Amino acid sequence: MPGLLSRRLLFVTGKGGVGKTTIAAALAKLSASLGRRTLLCEVDARGDVATCLGSGPSGYRPAEVASSLWVMSMDTEAALRDYIRLFVRVPLAARLGPVASALDFISTAAPGVTEILVMGKVCWEVREGGWDVVVVDAPASGHVVSQLASPTSMGELVGVGMIRQQTDWMVEMLSDTRRTGAVVVTTPDEMAVQETLELVGRIGSETVVPVASVVANRVLPELFGRGEEEVFGSLSETGPASRLSGALGSDVAPLFDAARLAVQLRRSSVSHLSRLRTGLPGSLAPLNVPNVFVSDRPSCVTDDVSTALAAELGI
Ligand SMILES: Nc1ncnc2c1ncn2[C@@H]1O[C@H](COP(=O)(O)OP(=O)(O)OP(=O)(O)O)[C@@H](O)[C@H]1O
Ligand SMILES: [Mg+2]
C-alpha cells in the first residue's frame, strides 16, 4: 500500500479555494478503487463533496455512494447527541434538555467544544467504524490548526477524569505517523505557497498531527517543447502572423496572446513550486497534480485528479 493511503486517517486542508475538496474526494475515490472501505467526511457540510463526486447530498449517517466509498457530512449537534448516548449517564442526558440549546450553551461557555466534537466523531469512526481509511475534507488554513489541536488543548485544560481519558486516546491516534496525517493542498502561486509553508510549520509546532504530504494542485503543463518556442516566436512576428490571419480569414493575434500568457503563467508557477520545494522539510516532496481542462463538471475533474494522484503515488 503506497505510503499516503496506508494511513487510516487523513485530514485534507490548505488555503481557501485551492482544491481541498477535490483532492479529498480524489484520494477517497483512489482508496476505494483499491478495494479499501473508505469514508469521506465533509466537515463544513456545504455539499461540496457531493458536487465533487457527482453524488446526492450527504447526511450525518455515512451513505455508500460507490463501491467501497461512503460519504458523511459533519453535524455537531448530532455528534453531541452521539456523545451523550455513548458516554453520559442517562439521567444527566435527560436533564440536559434539548441538545441544540445545550450545545449552544456549552460552546459559548467553552470555545473549542464544537471542534472537539468534530475530532471526537472522526477519531471514533476510525476506531469503531470499521473503515480502512477515513479522509476528512477539513477546514481551511485559518481554522484547521485549532481543529487538529483541540484534543490536546482540551486534555491540557481537563487534567483528569472521563474527558481526559477520552482526549488521551484521540491524541495517541492523531500523533501516530503510521495511522494519521495531514495533506496540505496548494496551488503554484505566491500567496498559496506562502500560506502553505506557514501552515505546514504551524501544524508541526501547534498540533500533534504529522504532515503526511503536500499536494501542488492545478500545475500548468509546459506548453512548448524544445525548439517549439522558437517556431512560436517566428510565427507570432508581424509578417507571418498577418499572413496566417489572411490565410485563415480571422485574426490569430488573440491566440498568440493567450499562448504567451500561458507560457508566462507556467514560468511563474515553476518558480513558486521551487520555493515550495525548498521551503518544505526534505521529507515532504510535493505531489504534483495538473490543472485539468476536461470540462466544467467538477466530478470529471475529480476523476482526472484521482488518476493523476495515482500516478504520483506510483499506484
Ligand atoms: N486540478 C484541477 N484542475 C482543474 N480544476 C480544478 C482542479 N482542482 C480543483 N479544481 C476546481 O477548482 C474549484 C475549487 O475546488 P475545490 O472546491 O476542491 O476547492 P476548495 O479548496 O475545497 O475550496 P473551499 O476553500 O471553498 O472549500 C472547483 O471548481 C474544482 O472543480
Ligand atoms: Mg472545499
The pLDDT assigned to 96 comes to 59
The pTM of the full predicted model, rounded to 2 decimals, is 0.90
Q: Which of 21, 287, 294, 296 to mutate to test the pocket of ligand 1 (most atoms within 8 A of CB)?
A: 21
Look over the chain and give the mean of its residue pLDDT values, rounded to a whole number. Answer: 89
127 Cα to the center of ligand 2, angstroms: 25
**Does residue 99 form part of some domain?**
yes
Of the listed ranges 36-50, 52-66, 146-160, the least confidently predicted one is: 146-160
Q: What is the DSSP string of 48-115?
A: HHHHHHT-----SS-EEEETTEEEEE--HHHHHHHHHHHHS-HHHHHHT-SHHHHHHHHHHHSTTHHH
**Closest ligand, as measured to the CA of 19:** 1
**Does residue 242 form part of some domain?**
no
Q: Which of 245, 193, 241 is nearest to 214 (CA)?
A: 193
Helix (H) or strand (E) holding 309: helix 298-312
The pLDDT assigned to 153 comes to 84
The tens digit of pLDDT for each residue in 162-187 reads 677 778 899 999 999 999 999 999 99
The tens digit of pLDDT for each residue in 237-282 reads 888 888 989 999 999 888 888 888 888 888 889 999 999 999 999 8
Partners of residue 213 on adjacent β-strands: 183
**Does residue 248 form part of some domain?**
no
**Does residue 249 form part of some domain?**
no
The pLDDT assigned to 144 comes to 95
Listed in sequence order, the residues at least 6 apart from 126 whose beta carbon sits closer than 8 Å to its beta carbon are 8, 9, 134, 173, 179
The pLDDT assigned to 221 comes to 83
- Structural domain total, the chain: 1
**Closest ligand, as measured to the CA of 42:** 2
The tens digit of pLDDT for each residue in 284-312 reads 999 999 999 876 788 889 999 999 999 99
Q: In the predicted model, is pLDDT for residue 110 greater than 90?
A: no
Partners of residue 90 on adjacent β-strands: none
Q: What percent of the chain lies above the pLDDT cut of 70?
A: 90
Residue 148: give its domain's CATH number.
3.40.50.300
Nearest ligand 1 atom to the CA of 22 is 18
Residue 12: pLDDT band with limits 50, 70, 90:
very high
Q: In the predicted model, is pLDDT for residue 94 greater than 80?
A: no
**Does residue 89 form part of some domain?**
yes
**Does residue 237 form part of some domain?**
no
Residue 301's domain comprises 3-221+283-312
The pLDDT assigned to 138 comes to 97
**Does residue 256 form part of some domain?**
no
